[in-house]
Amino acid sequence: MLHYAAAPPNAPSKKIRCALCVLKNLCDLCNLCVLCVFARGHLLKFSKFFFVVARISFLQMSNSTTQADGDKTPQPVSRRDFLKSLGRTGVGVALAGIGAAALLSRREDRSVWQIDPFKCVMCGRCATACVLPMSAARCMHNKQMCGYCDLCFGYFLPNHTARNEGAENQVCPLGAIERDRVEGDYFSYTIDRTACNGCAQCVKLCTHSGNGSLFLQIQNDICVQCNECSIARACPAKAISRIPAPQMYLLKESHRRPATDPAS
């Protein structure tokens, strides 16, 4: 079935640092600093927030009232000056939190380009239509569907002369598929993403002659997320569209799309 892969959970953060940035932790409940608390909508005790703002204001006033002769000893700060600095600092922190919230909201609302594996016709245009020097579309392998065959149709050319890893026997022109013996006549196949250019030659043979465990997909960590994807514009099957960013990838988990799949 067509599956939306979720992002792996974040590792727990240490209490001495904010869970989202490098600032010191200020909230015992959510392990976030004051800016990230505003941005994420978490609750922060007013007393603690007030203490932080007051501390920043005091340090600013102390630094601004040092003697001009080079003495770094802080000078006494009047109550009026301290309250003025406190107000300015509080407003600044609040505005920074609002700005961070807007940026995070924009990030969560964005979408990413993905290929529908069941609509893809393996035309090869993904390798040539992308704006990047090496296309962001790369081959992916669902090893749960793989038969670990000695004769892999996605690896060996139909007219190969020997059952070995020689370049003259491989489907992939760039040698981006690694073949390793598991045991006996069973072999595992791994895609080298750094070498694959998304030509879809292996995907075509695996789909038409094998079990279809190979498929093309746009890699989110490589794609620059253009407003209008040049690959989508060139795709004859209209197999490329946007999905919400938190869903990350459209994966292929069966030979055919189930009739109950909403995208069918």
DSSP symbol at 262: T
Specify the pLDDT at position 247. 87
- Of residues 114 and 46, which shows the higher confidence score? 114
**Mean pLDDT throughout 23-49?**
50
pLDDT > 90? residue 132: yes
Q: By C-alpha distance, which of 135, 140, 134 is closest to 229?
A: 135
Give the H or E element holding residue 250.
strand 249-252
**Mean pLDDT throughout 171-186?**
94
Q: By C-alpha distance, which of 249, 199, 202, 196 is closest to 221?
A: 249
pLDDT > 60? residue 46: no
pTM tops 0.85: no
DSSP symbol at 183: E
Average per-residue pLDDT for the chain: 76
93-102, 175-184, 186-195: lowest mean pLDDT where?
Answer: 93-102
How many other CB atoms are found less than 10 A from the CB of residue 92? 12
For the chain, list the domains and their CATH numbers: 11-64+75-109 (no CATH), 112-155+192-252 (3.30.70)
Q: By C-alpha distance, which of 188, 200, 39 is closest to 117?
A: 200
Q: Quick check: 120 and 237 in contact, CB under 8 A?
A: yes
Label residue 110 by pLDDT band (50, 70, 90).
confident
Label residue 253 by pLDDT band (50, 70, 90).
confident
The Cα 7–Cα 221 span in angstroms is 13
Label residue 109 by pLDDT band (50, 70, 90).
low
pLDDT > 70? residue 70: no
The Cα 257–Cα 264 span in angstroms is 7
**Mean pLDDT throughout 85-108?**
60
Q: Quick check: 53 and 88 in contact, CB under 8 A?
A: no
